[in-house]
Amino acid sequence: MMTTSNLYNTLVSWFLSLVPSQLVPVNGLSGDCAEVEVRAPFQVVGLQQVWQEDGLALYVCVVPISQGPSPGKPTYSKSRKNKTKEELRGTSIFYQLVAKFLSQTCLKAVIWWNKQLNNSLQEQMFPPQIYLPLVRLNSMISVNSNLKTVKKIFETEMGFYWQTVETDESYCPSVTEISESCEEKPEITMALIFDNLLINPMALHHTLQLILGYGIDICGLRLLYSSHRLLAESAGKLPSAYTPDNARPILALALRGVNARALWMDIVGPSDPQLASVTDQHSINALYCKHRDEPVLYSPHQESRIHWELCVWFGGRIPENGIVRVGVQNPGRKNSLKSRSQNLQFTGTHIDPRETCRPPATLVATIRADIFLLVSPAVPPHCYGDIMSICTKRGFSLQGETPLLLQIPVFCGSGALISNDSDGGPHTNLPCPCFLLLLKKENASHHVVSLLKGIANGLAEQGLLKSVRNRLPPNTKFEIELCFHVAPYTEQTLQGLGGSLSAVPHSANLNVDVLYKHSFVSNPELEQVVVLTLTGPTAVKNAGNCLRDLLRPPSNKSRNISGAELIDGGFELLGLKWLPHLSRSQAKELTPFEVGDRHWQASIDCLVSSPALVCVLRRVNAFKTLAAILSASKPRANLFKENHSNLEKVMSPTPELAFRQAALFFTDRELMSDPEARPLLKYLPPCLRSGNTKLDKETQTVNTESIFSYMLLGAQPLFTVLVIKPSAWPQHHLKILRKLDREYFCVVGMKLVSLDPEKASLLTPHSIQQDPRLVKCSIDSLTSGASVILCVQRDNAVKKLLDLLGPEDPGEARGLNQFLWRALCGTDIVHNGLYGSSSFVTAIRDVKTFFPDGLCCEESQMMQDEQIDSNRKDWLINPEFPKKHKLVRSLTLTHLDSGATTWQKQQDLLLPRPLCQTILPWEKLELEDCLQYFIYPKSEPQVERLISCLFDSLAPQCIHQIVLQDS
């Protein structure tokens, strides 16, 4: 993209390539604009960026070429832009030659190093490519041959003060003086560039592009011929070509911006080119400095030295008469100048024309302006911290930010992205928001292109482009325009986006009764919502880095004792709001001190005196995790002594306070979830995914979400299915039941069944489903005997049971923790002893498959949504219902085993074991107090009826079998 800033750098590099001391090879170009070698008919002897009454401009003084090889005479095509004979009449031949050259020469014809420059900028994924427009030079350059004008520009003493240039850009008036006083001030630095860098226009152009790419403004630019003594006093070591006998040109360059000194040092690199080639091979010294004794530039480091150099090379010296002319403070208003002149004439005072105007200024600054940065829904919220950090690093200060649900044609065809669950079933069909930032910076529009390139390169360096591409429509290539859009600030645009980005709900809308009607039960095993508030200039400035570490911490591939990957990923960002300052009522809600504490009043005064950034976050065990992160980041001196000055990061300590603080700053529509940042999502029902307790019956989706409703839901017991396989249940089922009780599981369904191949295929381990041989072995093992099927209920039941079971391979489980259930009950991946539902959707499928008649528990909203029955009456042994099965002697076992050693073994084959156990003397077991809770038969017919009711089948080797009742 060819912007005005890129065009300015191109012209400066071309003009400096025409300085007389330079011997620049002229390359022939082929194309639309030049068919032969093109060389300018002049050379540059003066160049400076100066502000005068008519504005800021780059002034260049050119003279005819006096010596040198005369090139072939250029041929020019006719152009409508050529000056007429009347306009050229009375002018010099040199002026006519220059005017004709500018009117008939294309910019591409003189910038012969453009291809080489673009190649040198390829170290980034999104390089700042320089595309030259097909324009003639006279469309950008005007010629004036008046000698008085030349003297006025190049012989007038420069002014003492900086000049602030006003532009057409706007800023948000709602930002108060408090927030402006907390913003970081721009820095000034400067450099003297020697002719061994000036003789290479590609190198100089590369340097100017790096300055632009780092978000720095060129506030001063002068081509000077200094004495050797003055230059040696400033720079110290000079290139060997600079001697007392000749005055060689230097380029004085002044830079302005936030962190300008550190950024300029990054651009330049170490002064030793060998060291620079190792530490930063893309720096100026590494690329263009040949030896440390031949420096290409000089740049002071100390602030006092920088200001001294600015005064030397850009004016600011007191005149010999000691009178400093400051002129009119607002010289742009011509009417005020005219009226002042008339008043002076009326009083008879002698008028010096120089007194009524401000002198020229070579150091300029621009007013601060605001821009809107709109981030596409294709960029996931966990990238927001990186985006804010990049903007802050490039000198932009945050003035407001919020997620918005917008239909933006400039981004994607659809304004919302759908998050589907990988396990199928009901899913949340929730729109993804845009992210809107209001940014402020000097000369903001000048740095828009470099800002967007910097954000894209920053995301690429962090490996985040893959997640962005996954959210784009299929077969869509990543482009900056699809993900980011910048617009200048206007009041009309702000109102169209919903008004002030710092608006908060009215305090009267907070229903206090809600706080007393809910217990705010919070289980650390589940997702918790916490509010983090960053206050103070330093905390707000570093808010991007803080959010990045919270939303996207360093990857941790470690596993917990269950073998599952730890849910120690980042927080989920639900809401974000920047405030220029806090009110006293808001500060009272946020302060960690209680009324009556020594630091309470001081903490309130501290909180209301600076801007704040309020973040609503969610993750598993959020309170404990965030508290640990904040305590680790506190200074060592504050770990043991809390005081009111340590309020840069304040978190809500309890779920109740988190709800109050979130309701104080956000409406329900301003809090939006991010399914990709919720690793627990597949283990939760739809009501816990969105805070909405009802599904859309037609689409079976959740089309609305409410974070506040989610925070008020409280405990929501879930179901999951545990299968004790034939190889494990005879020895381990009692141990498993005891372990379930210790982990607060409630058994709501249990049966002993013999699985058929169809149902057994549902229990095959996921890790072997691609191997047909192992799948067949698993089905044969599951159908070889009876299995115990249990349905258990608990908060976070699905995830908790999987953590207790461990990996599907018992060998891997034993390597992690020998007390994992599969490590105790399994032998290999096929005979791993236990099965647990892998997700909530799978758990519901298993419940409906193995417990079609329902579960023994109270009916809940979730059971109604999933159409799971609640058995308030025992359908099996209730006399009101007809019996479906009966117990009969098996025809396949009609004789005793002659090889049996004892009659007891033969008796075990003749009668089911429960028939033998009914003759136990219950009264002697000291269970009188518990007998009311037992159902036990007192006769053999009762045993037969009870077995036929409770069991669908018996073991294959039993002489009795259960069959359907005759109609």
Cβ–Cβ under 8 Å, residues 28 and 204: no
Name the residue ranges covered by the structural domains of the chain: 1-23+37-66+90-314, 367-409+431-497, 512-554+569-631+646-688, 716-866
pLDDT tens-digit map of 428-471: 445 678 899 999 999 898 899 999 999 999 999 999 998 898 88
Q: What is the mean pLDDT of the chain?
A: 78
By C-alpha distance, which of 841, 741, 725 is closest to 789? 725
Please compute, for residue 359, the number of CA atoms within 13 A of its CA located in the half-sphere on the CB side. 20
Which fold is adopted by the domain 1-23+37-66+90-314? Alpha-Beta Plaits (3.30.70)
Can you read off the two tokens belonging to residue 693? Answer: 């307790």
| Res. 675 pLDDT band, cuts 50 70 90 | confident
State the Cα–Cα distance between residues 67 and 47, nearest whole angstrom.
21
What's the CATH architecture for 367-409+431-497?
2-Layer Sandwich (3.30)
Whole-model pTM: value is 0.81
What is the maximum span of the chain, computed from C-alpha positions, in angstroms? 144
**What pLDDT is stored for residue 453 in this prediction?**
92
Q: What secondary structure does DSSP assign to 279-328, as a single string? A: H-TTSHHHHH---TTS-SEE---SHHHHHHHHHHHS--PPPTT-PPP---
pLDDT tens track for 149-189: 888 788 776 666 688 888 888 888 766 454 555 677 899 99
Collapsed DSSP state (helix, strand, coil) of residue 278: helix
Contacts for 123 with CB less than 8 Å, ≥ 6 apart: 282
In this structure, the number of other CB atoms found within 10 A of the CB of residue 623 comes to 19
Q: What is the pLDDT of residues 602-645, one digit of tens each?
A: 899 989 988 899 999 999 999 999 999 988 876 544 434 445 55
pLDDT in tens, 273-314: 999 999 988 899 999 998 989 999 999 999 999 999 998 898
Fold type of domain 512-554+569-631+646-688: Alpha-Beta Plaits (3.30.70)
What CATH class is the domain 716-866?
A: alpha beta
pLDDT in tens, 764-781: 888 888 888 999 999 999
Neighbours of 703 (CB within 10 A): 13
| Common-topology check for domains 512-554+569-631+646-688 and 716-866 | yes
| pLDDT of 203 strictly over 90 | yes
* Beta-sheet pairing, 885-889 with 960-964: antiparallel
- Write the CB contacts of 696 (distance below 8 Å, at least 6 apart in sequence): 702, 703
How much is the pLDDT for 729?
85
The encoded tokens of residue 780 equal 């044969």
Helix (H, G, I), strand (E, B) or coil at 435: strand
Q: Which residues lie below 8 Å from residue 671, measured CB to CB, with a gap of 6+?
A: 574, 575, 616, 662, 707, 708
**Can you spell out the DSSP letters for 147-174?**
HHHHHHHHTSPPPSS-EEEP-S----TT
- Per-residue model confidence (pLDDT) at position 482: 87
